[in-house]
Amino acid sequence: MKIAVFYEHLMEAARQSQKDLDEILDIARGCGVQGVDFPLQGLDESPQDAKARLDRAGLSVLSLHKDCDFVHVPDWGQARELVDLAAQWGVGPVLVVPGFVEENADAQQWKQAEETIVKALVPLCGYAAAKGVNVTLEDYDGVKAPFGTMEQLLGFTRQVPGLGISFDTGNFLFWAQDELAAFELLKDKIVHIHCKDRALQPSNGACQVSVDNTKLYPSPVGGGVIHMREILTRLSRMGYTGALTIEHFGAQDQLALLRQSAGWLREALDSLEKN
């Protein structure tokens, strides 16, 4: 398994610390980070220039992600660039965030949103498979996402041939669901991991309120309430060799959490290898 981090966190760390981005990349590499989860939105330079920057730092692109709006525009071509770039760079998994329902949507609108997402994902996954790329959805932590719970994700995988799961360890808690139960339900479809832990007390970052009104805060991996070590153990048993992408959006000090998260993951992986 390879330790990765969201590229957005590295850009944010540079802004927060007033350090050069190249220096942040070197720090990440020194912490044991081997690659990044790469966005197609919000970059300060072209994707190709950012990729060259990562290459110089010795960091690989291990996944790509993009926000689309299949709910309102069920055109899979919105994600063509994502798949094409992944194929060009030799990246296996990509994450599509396929759009959201409107505020106060009724049951029919939720059902229609699911149908339009499926309508776009079926040809997208076929296109991606021909290029050796695996399209995924994640358990998104937002009340307007029709792809957040374990049951919703399972439903999409049953309707869309070839669709995989980017398993976010911390987002099932947002939906008041158990992450280990979700892991067992979805494990056959997991192709990528977002390592997100959660704190229940104010810590390094903004509060997010779950569907059962639990206050959730950013946490370094291994420092919160998510069963991170057990998830890593189960991944090891099933032979997972992909990326473990550190995630803590909303953190006030991205560099501090990166160092803590990478250090914990290195220790946990070393322990798994010894056992």
User: What 3 state SS string does the chain have?
Assistant: CEEEEEHHHHHHHHHHHCCCHHHHHHHHHHCCCCEEEEECCCCCCCHHHHHHHHHHHCCEEEEEEEECCCCCCCCHHHHHHHHHHHHHHCCCEEEEECCCCCCCCCHHHHHHHHHHHHHHHHHHHHHHHHCCCEEEEECCCCCCCCCCCHHHHHHHHHHCCCCEEEEECCHHHHCCCCHHHHHHHHHHHEEEEEECEEECCCCCECCEECCCCCEEEEECCCCCCCCHHHHHHHHHHCCCCCEEEECCCCECCHHHHHHHHHHHHHHHHHHHHHC
User: What sign has the CA pseudo-torsion 43, 71, 182, 238?
Assistant: negative
Residues with Cβ within 8 Å of residue 196, at least 6 apart in sequence: 168, 169, 170, 171, 221, 226, 247, 248
Q: What is the pTM of this model?
A: 0.96
Angle in degrees, CA 143, 192, 41, rounded to 5: 60
Collect the ranges in the chain with pLDDT lower than 50: none
Residue 204, pLDDT score: 81
Query: Looking at residue 152, what is its pLDDT?
Result: 98
pLDDT at 214: 97
**Confidence (pLDDT) at 275:** 75
Q: Where do we find the tokens 């991205």?
A: 254
- The encoded tokens of residue 70 equal 């299949």
In this structure, are residues 150 and 185 in contact, taking their beta carbons and an 8 Å threshold? yes
For the 2-274 domain, the top CATH level (class) is alpha beta
Q: At what angle do helices 254-274 and 21-30 cross, to 10 degrees?
A: 20
Integer-rounded Cα Rg, in Å, for the chain is 18
Q: Are 243 and 195 in contact (CB under 8 A)?
A: no
Residue 124, number of CB atoms within 10 A of its CB: 28
Instruction: Name beta bridge partners: 205.
Output: 251
User: Tokens 């790509």, residue?
Assistant: 64
CA distance 181 to 228: 13
Neighbours of 123 (CB within 10 A): 14
